Structure 1
Amino acid sequence: MASQKDLVSRAVAEQPNKPCNPIAREDEAARLSTDELDRVVGPFELCHCNRCKKVSGSAFMAAIGVRREDFRWISGRELIRAFEAPLLQSPPAYRVCFCTVCGSCVPDPEDSSELFEIAAGLLDDDPRLQPDKHIFVEMKAPWFEITDDLRQMDKNALLKHRQQVRQTEEDGT
């Protein structure tokens, strides 16, 4: 069975086909079966918010959630710069990090939150997850039509969903 280390480290840290590979990362996750992977890596969301559209230069940003405890930087932190957009409604602000050599959107090395996102486009290998929902669909680009059968959530539905997920995790079910 593939471990999260096999999936994340191989897919993110070993990227010989990328224009740049000065940013090396490695995770230290325990071995897990692919059946348990969704509990460690995910969700896999397609975000249509205005800021994600700007960062990705596309109709949406495809992002995969990763637990902080399963990931650590090895080198290249000095090559990362951040752009922090002004606060729109409430904290936290929108912060985007990128490699100064190749411009790739990379995880924030200063973020200490329990969960963070990796742009799915960084991964050369199959993350063994599929997108599970479109989020912030009320901000969808007018020139883009969602044609798949994934759940579509506006901001209110997403906030409600995330609260339910947090409550389930706290309850241990």
Structure 2
Amino acid sequence: MTKIKGRCLCGAISFEVANTFEKLFMCSCDQCRQITGSAFASNLFVSIEEFDWLKGADDVVNYQLPGRDISKSFCRVCGSGVPWSSDDGTKMIVPAGSLSEPAIVAERVRIFTSEQPSWASNLEQVPAHAEFPKLR
């Protein structure tokens, strides 16, 4: 089983996870957009047995949205999103952007597209740049 590493932006937290992801969920629900500040959350799910903290587990802070099954874990130093365990403790939810290496994903799934904002539609038609474009 191949393992890959991930970390927060400042490096205070790092982890290792089996590179055997069945699905990548890209969620456009209102709560995931608010909690990430982006068009959607990109999360991978893996068995808790296939996940190990390498350092900084004590620097992980978790926010649980009251009354909902929505949470976010982040680094107390830099605020980057980091993995958290599912409510039943059987899975780790890994923010795809926290991985330092490419993930092997069997299937990508978009969910709650009915809540996707209009500005996040048809992104393949938006001009793409390899770097930050010059401002006028």
Provide TM-score, normalisation by structure 2. Answer: 0.76
Secondary structure (helix, strand or coil) at the match of 2:120 reads coil
Alignment correspondent of 1:26: 16
Question: Whole-Å Cα distance in 2 between the matches of residues 132 and 110 of structure 1?
Answer: 20
Unaligned stretches of 5+ residues in structure 2? 125-136
Structure having the higher strand fraction is 2
Structure-1 residue corresponding to 2:2: 4
Partner of 1:45: 25
Per-residue CA deviation, residues 7-66 of structure 1 (Å, 9 max, x unaligned), is: x23xx15xxxx6411112234x5xxxxxxx6xx313111110111101221111111122
Query: Would you tell me which structure has more helix in proportion to its own residues?
Result: 1
Could you tell me how far apart the structure 2 residues matched to 1:109 and 1:77 are?
A: 12
Runs of 4+ in 1 over 6 A off after TM superposition: none
- Kindly report which structure 2 residues correspond to 1:80-99, keeping only aligned pairs within 5 A, or say none: 80-88=60-68, 93-99=69-75
Structure 1 residue ranges without an equivalent (≥5): 30-36, 149-173
When the two structures are aligned, how many residues end up with a matched partner?
A: 124
SS for the counterpart of 1:132 is: strand
Structure possessing the higher relative contact order (Cα contacts under 8 Å, 6 or more residues apart): 2
For the residues of structure 1 that align with 2:86 and 2:53, how far apart are their CA atoms?
A: 10
1:108 matches 2:84:
yes
SS at match of 1:22: coil
User: What does residue 131 of structure 2 align with?
Assistant: none
Report the aligned-residue RMSD.
Answer: 2.5
Identity %: 27
In the superposition, the TM-score normalised over structure 1's length comes to 0.61
Residue identity in the other structure for 2:51: F
In the alignment, structure 1 residue 139 sits paired with structure 2 residue 129: no
- Cα deviations by residue, 1:121-168 (Å, 9 ceiling, x for unpaired): 1123211337612101111113221567xxxxxxxxxxxxxxxxxxxx
